[in-house]
Structure 1
Amino acid sequence: MKKYLILVWVGFLLFSCKKESTSGTENKIPREEISSVVSNQVDTVSGFSEAYLPISTTKQIVKHDYYTLSYNENFEQAEWVAYELKAEYVKNNDFKRPYFVQDPSVITGSADWRNYKKSGYDKGHLCPAADMEFDKRAYNDTFFTSNISPQKRDFNSGIWNRIEEKVRYWALRDRDIYVVTGGVLNDLDKKIGTEKVSVPKYFYKIVLSKSGKEYKAIAFLVPNEDSDKSIYDFVVPIESIEKMTGIDFFPNLKNLKSSQSF
């Protein structure tokens, strides 16, 4: 009887420790006009994977639970921040805003928030805190200084905020979208603080939506200035932003083109 019980116990342990493994491949697809149906597969599961990340020109990619960034030490900010935004993420939990803190995952050290003090510029979120209000930790993670960039106050609370609100609307409509955003970084940009944080003259936001095998995208390039114009006045081809930044945004989606018909 004891021998039988021992065999059962060992069998239970072996079963409990068994792990499942999955594997998959990402196929490059031909890029077509945004309203067209993409015929080749990129992945067969719902949602977005790391295959949608842009190329990092700095090789310093930092992954947080709900967003990923590529940090550029020369400009003391991220060259891009990328994240998935699901419909269920769009909530208003009215969390208490935490203090901005340096990102411990940035090996070279992210800029101190004090660089912004008395600079006249907002600590502008790249991944908006409002996009992460479904979870307190996700919300707090948006207050790492690796996720901010100097923005003029009227820009931050005006045209940029209107685009962010539209992005959340698209997440609710399409159930699941992918967002890439950042400033266009240039050596000639104005600098603030003792760490010489660059002030981008332009900010971009690219939104990708997927339904089955069908893709559509829209890209915005907006001056760091107040504007009363429609957000659609700032729609540009993704290729235009790629030329300005040197970043390949969707290397696994060949010939993807953006459009106003999002």
Structure 2
Amino acid sequence: MKPFKYLQLLTVCTVLLYSCKKNTDAVQLALPTVTTVDITAITGNTASGGGNVNSEGGAPVTARGIIFGKGTSAVITTVDGTGGGSFTSSLTGLQPYTTYYVKAYATNANGTAYGNTITFQTLGAPPPIPVDDDPLNPGNPTNAMPYPFFSENYLKNNNYYTLAYSQSRGIPVWVAWHLQKEDLGSTPRQDDFRGDVNLPPSWYQVQTTSYTSTGFDRGHNCPSGDRTLTIPANSSTFLMTNIIPQAQTLNQGPWNDLEDFVRNSLVGTTNEAYIVMGNYGTGGYNNLTPAVVNSIDGGLVTVPAKIWKVVVIMPKGNNDLSRINSNTTVLAVNMPNDHRVYTGGTASDWRTYRTSVAAIEADANAAGVPLNLFQRIADSVRPALKAKIYP
């Protein structure tokens, strides 16, 4: 029986030795494991990326970095050190407004491993510096940019006014325009509400039917009455990118009265105005149901909770920014988008809702809108203007 026992022992040892050799070989041949980190500090020509070598595998990592390019060809490889752990890579020589593909890599004696592929888009050229009568002359209220990847703060020029649009909300964040007597004429109201075909191709286009039977008015931001010089000018105000769901008693009551007051009493024939209208929050009240309504059009159009307007008035002239001082007239209002509020008397008087720019900014920022008006107005003047409440 002893020879048989020796044979068993020999077999076991052989198996163990063979198994140990296989495991050792597997470890020795292992590649590193690496992940790609998000791209940051994106400009038109540069960005920052990198990766993390989670494990060096069966041999030390002798090179690590990223591979990036506009597709599968013409890729660029960086070398950003050796060993495990995290590393940072600089992406340079990029083209503005271009999509790039990036993945991290790590190399050891057994080969090269790659991380996950991520994409990013470089910025384009900044918007041109505004000049007199440009709606953004006093400043870009949320630093909106005209690139589709700024989907919640998309800067759009509708020729007769400028706006920032929110793709997810289906309404503008704000709309800005300049008003003077030269903008006014005898053109009748066009009433040609329509979707804006000049939104980025993949974005949903809100239609006039999106508001049908919702209990909310198609509320203008830049009013039809402020663009009556020509048919194209008036027609532009009926693009749905200029429209928000507005409570009827608000739109047809104090808001309409305020528009008339600004146009006829503040601007008249001798003054000019820089005007911004915006909104924030979610949930308004219509004339159909006592419950709050958060959205319409199957959730594609948000009903804002508050609607505000800021007007800067000055005598007609040139070099507007240099003429704005602490004595310049500022009118600011902030109104709830609530059909139940405007019941007549002082409740339906726009003067009841006067406030300061600073107060509007504080509320808007608390609601997630990065509102900062008057950025191009002199630092020595801006705080005084933001604190004013129209008498």
Q: What is the 5 A alignment of 1:100-179?
A: 100-107=193-200, 108-169=203-264, 170-172=266-268, 174-179=270-275
Partner of 2:351: 232
Residues in 1 aligned to 2:296 and 2:159: alpha-carbon distance in whole angstroms: 29
**Of the two, which has the highest radius of gyration?**
2
> Structure 1 residue 91: deviation in Å?
3.1
1:64-117, Cα deviation, whole Å (9 max, x unpaired): 21100000112110010000011222334224422x111122223442222211
The reply to whether residue 71 of structure 1 matches residue 165 of structure 2 is yes
Higher strand share: 2
The amino acid of 2:180's aligned partner reads: K
Distance 2:253 2:244 in 1: 16
Amino acid paired to 2:274: Y
C-alpha deviation, 1:184, in angstroms: 1.9
1:48 and 1:147, CA in 2 relative to 1: closer, same or farther beyond 3 A?
Answer: closer
> How high is the TM-score relative to the length of structure 1?
0.75
Cα distance between partner residues in 1 of 2:247 and 2:271: 31
User: Could you list the runs of 5+ residues in structure 1 that have no partner in the other structure?
Assistant: 1-25, 27-42
Paired AA for residue 231 in structure 1:
W
Q: Match of 1:82?
A: 176
Where does residue 29 of structure 1 map in the other structure? none
Using CA pairs under 8 Å that are at least 6 residues apart, name the structure with larger relative contact order, 1 or 2: 1
Please say if residues 89 and 133 of structure 1, whose CA atoms lie closer than 8 Å, have aligned partners that are also in contact.
Answer: yes
| Correspondence for 1:248 | 372
Distance 1:147 1:213, change over 3 A: closer
Note the 1:217-228 alignment, pairs <5 A.
Answer: 217-224=330-337, 225=339, 226-228=342-344
Show the counterpart of 1:51. 137
1:39 corresponds in structure 2 to none
Change over 3 Å in CA distance of 1:92–1:195 after alignment to 2: farther
Greater mean alpha carbon deviation, residues 220-229 or residues 180-189: 180-189
Q: Deviations over 1:119-138 (max 9, x none)?
A: 11111111111110111101
Q: Distance in 1 between matches of 2:376 and 2:191?
A: 37
Q: CA 1:174/1:183 → structure 2, altered by over 3 Å: closer, same or farther?
A: farther
Report deviation, 1:249: 1.8
Q: Quick one: which amino acid aligns to residue 297 of structure 2?
A: G
SS of the residue aligned with 2:222?
Answer: coil
Residue 107 of structure 2: aligned partner = none
Residues 92, 130 of structure 1: 8 Å contact kept: no
In structure 1, what residue type is equivalent to 2:372? D
Q: Which moved more, 1:118-127 or 1:171-180?
A: 171-180
Question: What's the CA shift for 1:241?
Answer: 1.2
Residues of 2 paired with 1:189 and 1:54: CA distance? 27
1:128-156 deviation per Cα after TM superposition (whole angstroms, max 9, x unaligned): 11110111101111111111011122211
Q: Secondary structure at the match of 1:243?
A: helix
3-state secondary structure, aligned to 1:178: strand
Query: Aligned residues, how many?
Result: 219
What is the rounded CA distance, in whole Å, between the counterparts of 1:189 and 1:244 in structure 2? 20
Match of 1:186 in 2: 282
1:111 and 1:195 in contact (8 A); partners too? no
User: Cα 1:118–1:176, aligned 2, differ >3 Å: closer, same or farther?
Assistant: same
1:198-217 matches, within 5 Å, as 198-211=302-315, 212-214=323-325, 215-217=328-330
Letter in 2 for 1:216: T
Alpha-carbon distance between aligned partners in 2 of 1:216 and 1:167, rounded to the nearest angstrom: 12
Query: Which 5+ residue runs of structure 2 have no aligned equivalent?
Result: 1-128, 145-151, 284-291, 316-322, 366-370
Q: Contact 2:190–2:234 (CA<8 Å) still a contact in 1?
A: no
Distance 1:106 1:120, change over 3 A: same
